[in-house]
A and B are shown apart, each in its own frame.
Chain A
Amino acid sequence: MMRTWQSARRLLPLIAVFGMVLAGCGREDLSVLRPQGPAAESSLGLMKLAISIMIVVLLIVFSIAAYVMIRFRRKPGQNETPEQVEGSFKLEVLWTVIPLILVIVLAVPTVRTVFALGDNHSGDKNAIKVKVTGHQYWWEFEYPDYGIKTAQDLIIPAGKDIAFELTTNDVLHSFWVPSLSGKIDTNPTGATNRFSFSAPKEGVYRGKCAELCGPSHGFMEFKVKAVSNDEFNQWIEAQKAPAVLPEDPALAKTFKEQCLKCHAVGDQGLSVGPNLTGIGSRQSVAGILLNDDTRQDGAPVEENLKTWLHDTQGVKPGNRMPDPSKDMGLTGDEIDRIAEYLAGYKLN
């Protein structure tokens, strides 16, 4: 076992070169090639090993191919019949054994990593438990130990293991944060999946749904925000605080009657739809309208909320939220004021 691993290490220089080439690829908060956590690192380690072996194979095949195609090309006037070689036992054994060795070199660390990543931390007292539920086309995150739910933004304390339990409310989805970890499907309850990852560094990471789940599958994005322990605890407390409703009682009434039929804020409403508590401080609206006051990579949160509420189907085709003006009878003005209120609903 150890020895094969060691022979793999001989490929290290090659791995290092690739590492450097590949590290230039993609965004730090998104790319598989720029891992930000141990789970993604171990996948990438295997990928580098595999790529190195495969490049060696390709180089051999390409050079033999180029050689024979140039060297043995029929020249004008050349008309003799080459010797009809039957084969060569020795050569054939050679190219059976070499691939076999290469396969073993890759198989050993593969199996080892499979079992290492199989560790799901569900019994670990220090791990933060999160129940992930996939919905067409949004993500719900529940923290059973704290009794809170949130949506679209997964807040986690940096450096801690997060023990996930994943299911879906409708069709299959797949939970994927490329820079932190590989993906895992969300199956219906009964086939609940568990896995775990951690994000050592504070920051925001982009997550995606990776299993075709309907028209807006490509828009089923989310963010993972790793914060310090203190910030995390503050956030938990703020989430538990009683709901803040619009100041204008008429608007508050409309909001409660129409929006809280499905959504929840603080201790009020239902969570059929995404929980809206503190939506003003989220990274995005609907997972894809990026909140950015500098307007470089999106728009301010209030504008995004208006965009969403005025045209939900336009933003995310096929999503299951009723249209505020057509289905709920809200006026344009009411919609704008609700957007304004939600944008101001911040947790910090």
Chain B
Amino acid sequence: MDWITTVDHKKIAILYLWAGGLFFGIGGIEALLIRWQLIKPMNDFVDAQTFNELITMHGTTMIFLGVMPIIFALMNAVIPLQIGARDVAFPFLNALGFWTFLFGGLLLNLSWMMGGAPDAGWTSYTPLSGTAYSGTHGVDFYTIGLQIAGLGTLIGGINFLATIITMRAPGMSFMRMPMFAWTTFITSAIILFAFPAITVGLVLLTFDRILGANFFVPGGGGSPVLWQHIFWIFGHPEVYILILPAFGIISEVIPTFARKRLFGYSSMVFATILIAFLGFMVWAHHMFTTGLGPVANALFAVSTMLIAVPTGIKIFNWLFTLWGGSVRFATPNLFASGFIPTFTMGGVTGVMLASAPADFQFHDTYFVVAHFHYVIVGGLVMGLFAGLHYWWPKMFGRMLSETLGKWTFWTFITGFHLTFFVQHFLGLMGMQRRVFTYLPNQHFDTLNLVSTIGAGLMGIGTLVFLTNIIVTSKKPPDAGDDPWEDGRTLEWSIPSPPPEYNFKQTPLVRGLDAFWKEKTAGNKGMAPAEPIGSIHMPSATPLPFIMSVGIFIAGLGFMFSRDHFGSALVSFLFNNYIVTGLGLLITFGAMLMRSLYDDHGWHIEPGELEGR
């Protein structure tokens, strides 16, 4: 119950972590099933239709429900602490964002049990995703589930923007902000501009499917290419939404374990902004084979290649942070150091893909599958592992086992390269992506076998990580305030896990790497910026949960509004939008209660603070 009503950013972080972990597990199992099917030619482990559902759900789940929430988990856990705030700007909205994400994700995954999962790929290109070619409710689950989950992301993004703009501790100017706070800030800005595009796209596709509109149906004057533009205007920035936070994490972990400040901080900030900006300009590089013509292809090819420049700046700055440092390879830093070469490999294939005439060959083959997994698994997932191992003691007050951590790292990274490196060659040798099987004698067999073995190894690595979590949670709390000893930023200046109010007194920030600065000046902790006083806290409330349940019911009601059910009553309820209305009533009712009933929250008094 506590968990359902909480508005505390640290608890919401943990909720995001468990929910994201759950979906990541589901997506991982889907990946293993896909790889098992492809272990040999003409395999019939799953049928063609199921395979397409598996790849669609794997991609969609991993991106929207697996890694994004884990990113949000880390942001929630860390950002307020890093900037010296007591919470996020809108704690109520923060809870609402989590619950809409969770119910959107549940809705999407219900499709497995309710007559067919989406099957048109995570890109859902029309007309394949239209009712004429995708007859089950699968794609409806996709459009409506993602719409609801996307609401949560948008809410979260806006919240972080507001938090970072308004709630930094005194003295923390933008150019003194930790890199992870910076990348969170930029990521949130990308969310703010990119998510509306997919929201509109999903609404139009929903109208096509449920209300019989023709936005993307060629026969009715609609345009499938329009969907591709809308999708990728969102979809390309989306990959930066994923990778920038990983950049932020790496920029925190490496300085801590090298005992050295980040090399070229201001150029890192500048490079991040530049990447975000360019990220919006290059969507059409996903569409080189659509037939946009040479002028468009040339422009998008060149602008895409330009992204290599700020990315290169980052890579070299990380390397030179290590240069001359005193580098300790604790698990977080193993992942961070493994990240650099691995991500670089994903980056260079990205530049290769940008060369449009070469992309005519790469596009929609396993070369692309290899490329984006190098970026999202080799980059982002490694970054997340680094971040989780790094901040785990801060979040839970317990150190993860270093031995198990090292096992996780070595099995995972070996498995990863085995799985995806060979896929570059599969693509070049003529294997298209999204194929449920392949004919023998095409020289594809051995490499596919290798790839499947690698995937198994990655699975083992993930299981070791889970074991680590379980083993650790059984131990008594053992983490000090600054468990890595070389913590540089504000979160390490308070207890692990932090008290509900984070900072007894808001800290005064005197420079970049504020806590490090105080430590090297010989101070015990941060200088306070305010006297001890009563701390205002927001009240717990079930309303965000209830609002999300309402949206969930409304979504289901709308989706099935055209169906006929065995029972006349049920059909009546759905076909007249009564279920939809009921769901919306719940949501708006809860909103009304929120506006009518003024909740002023509560206070923690100085006496209580001293009592600890």
**B-binding residues in A (CB < 8 A):** 22, 25-27, 30-33, 40, 42-44, 46-47, 50-51, 53-54, 57-58, 61-62, 64-65, 68-69, 72-74, 78, 80-88, 91-92, 95-96, 98-100, 102-103, 106-107, 110-111, 113-118, 136, 170-172, 174, 176, 178-179, 181-185, 187-191, 193, 206, 208-218, 221, 288, 290, 297, 317-318
CB B368 to nearest CB in A, in angstroms, measures 10
- Cβ of A26 and Cβ of B326 under 8 Å apart? no
B364 partner, pick from A46, A50, A210, beta carbons under 8 A: A210
12 cross-chain CB contacts under 8 A: A58-B348, A64-B316, A69-B327, A72-B325, A81-B520, A82-B259, A82-B260, A82-B324, A103-B351, A107-B305, A171-B133, A191-B225
- Cβ of A73 and Cβ of B438 under 8 Å apart? no
Count of chain B residues near A, Cβ 8 A? 88
- Cβ of B432 and Cβ of A32 under 8 Å apart? no
A117 partner, pick from B48, B341, B357, beta carbons under 8 A: B357
A182 partner, pick from B349, B360, B429, beta carbons under 8 A: B360
- Cβ of A61 and Cβ of B344 under 8 Å apart? yes
User: In the complex where A110-B357, A212-B120 touch, is A115 in contact with B428 (Cβ < 8 A)?
Assistant: no
Known: A42-B357, A110-B355, A185-B291. 17 other contacts (CB 8 A): A27-B442, A31-B443, A32-B429, A64-B323, A68-B319, A92-B316, A99-B312, A103-B308, A106-B355, A114-B357, A118-B294, A170-B133, A182-B359, A182-B360, A208-B430, A215-B436, A218-B438
- Cβ of A69 and Cβ of B322 under 8 Å apart? yes
User: In the complex where A65-B319, A85-B263, A85-B324 touch, is A25 in contact with B294 (Cβ < 8 A)?
Assistant: no
B298 partner, pick from A33, A82, A111, beta carbons under 8 A: A111
Identify the closest chain A residue to B517 (Cβ): A84
Binds A, one of B193-201, B264-272, B558-566: B264-272
Task: Compute how far the CA of A58 lies from the CA of B350 in the bound complex, rounded to whole angstroms.
Answer: 13
B340 partner, pick from A65, A107, A117, A118, beta carbons under 8 A: A65
- Cβ of B361 and Cβ of A40 under 8 Å apart? yes
B302 partner, pick from A43, A83, A88, A107, beta carbons under 8 A: A107
Task: Compute how far the CA of A288 lies from the CA of B436 in the bound complex, rounded to whole angstroms.
Answer: 14
Asked if B301 lies at the interface with its beta carbon under 8 angstroms from chain A, I say yes
Task: Compute how far the CA of A118 lies from the CA of B337 in the bound complex, rounded to whole angstroms.
Answer: 43
B357 partner, pick from A61, A182, A318, beta carbons under 8 A: A182
Task: Compute how far the CA of A290 lies from the CA of B439 in the bound complex, rounded to whole angstroms.
Answer: 10
Q: How many A-B residue pairs have CB under 8 A?
A: 288
Q: Is the interface of A mostly helix, strand, loop or mixed?
A: mixed
CB B64 to nearest CB in A, in angstroms, measures 19
- Cβ of B317 and Cβ of A80 under 8 Å apart? no
Identify the closest chain A residue to B299 (Cβ): A111
Select the residue from B51, B121, B258, B308 with max chain A CB neighbours within 10 A: B308
User: In the complex where A33-B429, A170-B127 touch, is A72 in contact with B327 (Cβ < 8 A)?
Assistant: yes
- Cβ of A178 and Cβ of B430 under 8 Å apart? yes
- Cβ of B352 and Cβ of A54 under 8 Å apart? yes
Residues from chain B with Cβ under 8 Å of A100 in the complex:
309
Asked if B593 lies at the interface with its beta carbon under 8 angstroms from chain A, I say no
Identify the closest chain A residue to B219 (Cβ): A188
Task: Compute how far the CA of A41 lies from the CA of B610 in the bound complex, rounded to whole angstroms.
Answer: 76
Asked if B358 lies at the interface with its beta carbon under 8 angstroms from chain A, I say yes
- Cβ of B364 and Cβ of A174 under 8 Å apart? yes
Identify the closest chain B residue to A115 (Cβ): B294
Asked if B414 lies at the interface with its beta carbon under 8 angstroms from chain A, I say no
Residues from chain B with Cβ under 8 Å of A83 in the complex:
260, 324
- Cβ of A47 and Cβ of B358 under 8 Å apart? yes
Identify the closest chain A residue to B55 (Cβ): A212
A185 partner, pick from B265, B289, B348, B439, beta carbons under 8 A: B289
Asked if B18 lies at the interface with its beta carbon under 8 angstroms from chain A, I say no
CB-CB contacts below 8 Å: B149-179 with A:
none
Task: Compute how far the CA of A99 lies from the CA of B309 in the bound complex, rounded to whole angstroms.
Answer: 6
